[in-house]
Amino acid sequence: MSTTEVAVDSSNATLQELARRHLWMHFTRMGGYDEQHEIPIIVRGEGAYVYDEHGKRYLDGLSALFCVNIGHGRADIAQAGADQAKQLGFFTNWSYAHPRAIELAARVAGLAPGDLNRVFFTSGGSEAVETALKLSRQYHRLRGKPGKIKIIAREIAYHGTSLGALTATQIPALKEPFEPLTPGGVTVPNTNMYRTPEGTTGVDLANTVADAIEREGPDTVAAVIMEPVQNAGGCFPPPGAYFQRVREICDEYDVIMISDEVICAWGRLGEYFGCQRFGYQPDIITTAKGLTSAYAPMGAVIISDRLFEPYQSGATSFVHGFTFGGHPVSAAVAMANLDAFENEHILDRVRDNEAAFAEMMDSLRDLPIVGDVRGVGFFRAVELVKDKQTKETFDDAESETLLRGFLSGELFRRGLVCRADDRGDPVIQLAPPLICGPEQFAEMESVLRPVLAEAGERMHVRA
């Protein structure tokens, strides 16, 4: 097909054809799309809703990918990017600064808790995590502890797709195609309280971090990376004093505590940062997504004064960076996004509405297939089971039939964007834009309830 033909014929069929022929979608079985199976093409968004190429409306129950926090279609945010592009479309943060990156760094540092005062910008979450892991290793090396290289993460947790993140997370399906990885990944149990033996406390689970450090050797462990609420596996909140104990352990063993807030920052849990919700002080926060409400790609690593100290003077530098880190257009968009957060009291809206969201999700517990309902703020999940009494889960083949064979497609067909996932046990996750309220929660329920009920029947779930 020639370029001219493409320009003239931009019909929907052509977009489908072009997508099938040329676009490589991420984490996608490309073989699943043929003439009979349309690629979903989303063409515009407005508030909590998006519209496909046929004009059909969907409630975006996942903020696209946990990131369009203030909702779609904001002309003011777009304008901020356009104005900046006119003034200075791009300049780099490699040895240079520009006003928007400086202003945003200061603003983010002002919002971050404690002495998290230094901001290193990236283009997204994986780059932020990679930056934090490399910084952790170099920090120890600069202080005469070059052996401290290992990274502790929690089972099933996802921290991005870089080889460094895959080393940390050790998820077989994600790492095996790309091995060998760099050495140094160690995993500890996550906080899935639905499947943790009764009586286990947050402190017990945190102590598995100390056990791992002892087992691996304290002189070999650089950092612990954890999300405030773990996404993969389905929104695991931290029980009791979990994070307070992890903090103590990190101090005791000279291990850096990284709070990976690529999802949990920027209002998702009703605070600017997830660690503020749970009252712990990390050494590093990694973030991205909601920083710009995804109107432009951007990530950030927020670093404590203590960790920056070896770089403060002399010739030492962090030999690491990305061309687009701190991009002025993204920084301007982030500033406008944070203005909207302040002017429209977005955090208050989450706090005011999270109980209604939780109540709607909890109301699904009467369905035979719903084993557990959990989460915090605007970040919630239901876990699907074969038998509620025994908590028996679905095997791989059943999970495939349930999620990819039915739920994902059916929920979308009925107008709800959400996530059906089985990186752990099968779950449905919802993380709507932070502007949602009771009307959208009722709409979610009106789709979830009949679809989950039908799923239970199809899978012969025991009531």
| Interacting residue ranges for ligand PLP, rule: CB under 6 A | 124-126, 129, 158-160, 227, 231, 260, 262-263, 288
Nearer to ligand PLP, 173 or 397 (CB): 173
Q: Is 119 or 385 the residue whose CB approaches ligand PLP more closely?
A: 119
Give the nearer residue to ligand PLP in terms of CB position, either 260 or 410: 260
CB of 454 to ligand PLP, least distance (A): 29
Smallest separation (angstroms) from ligand PLP to the CB of 462: 33
Looking at the Cβ atoms of 331 and 461, the one nearer to ligand PLP is: 331
Amino acid at residue number 263: I
Answer for the pair 63, 288: CB distance below 8 angstroms, yes or no. Answer: no
Length of the chain: 463
What is the per-residue DSSP string for 212-255? HHHHH-GGGEEEEEE-SSB-TTT-BPPPTTHHHHHHHHHHHHT-
Q: Which is nearer to ligand PLP, 134 or 145 (CB)?
A: 134
Distance of alpha carbon 171 from its chain centroid, rounded?
16
CB of 159 to ligand PLP, least distance (A): 4
Place of tokens 């002892």: 214
Instruction: Give least dist CB 358 to ligand PLP, A.
Output: 21
Taking the complex as a whole, the smallest distance from the CB of residue 264 to ligand PLP amounts, in Å, to 8
Residue 332 Cβ vs ligand PLP, minimum distance, rounded to whole Å: 19
3-state secondary structure of 11: coil
In this chain, which residue has its C-beta nearest to ligand PLP? Answer: 125
Percent of the chain as helix, strand, coil, to the nearest 5: 45, 15, 40
Q: Which is nearer to ligand PLP, 236 or 394 (CB)?
A: 236
Cα end-to-end distance, the chain, whole Å: 55
Residue 119: helix, strand or coil by DSSP? strand
In the complex, the smallest distance separating the C-beta of residue 60 from ligand PLP, rounded to whole angstroms, is 16
The tokens for 342 are 């302040």
Query: Who contacts 54 (Cβ-Cβ below 8 Å, separation ≥6)?
Result: 12
Q: Which is nearer to ligand PLP, 334 or 360 (CB)?
A: 334
What's the min distance (Å) between Cβ of 103 and ligand PLP? 23
Angle at 379 between CA 445 and CA 374, to 5 degrees: 75
CA distance 223 to 216: 12
**By C-beta, is 262 or 385 nearer to ligand PLP?**
262
* Long-range contacts (CB closer than 8 Å, 24 or more residues apart) made by 196-203: 201/239, 201/240, 202/238, 202/239, 202/240, 202/241, 202/242, 202/245, 203/240, 203/241, 203/242, 203/245
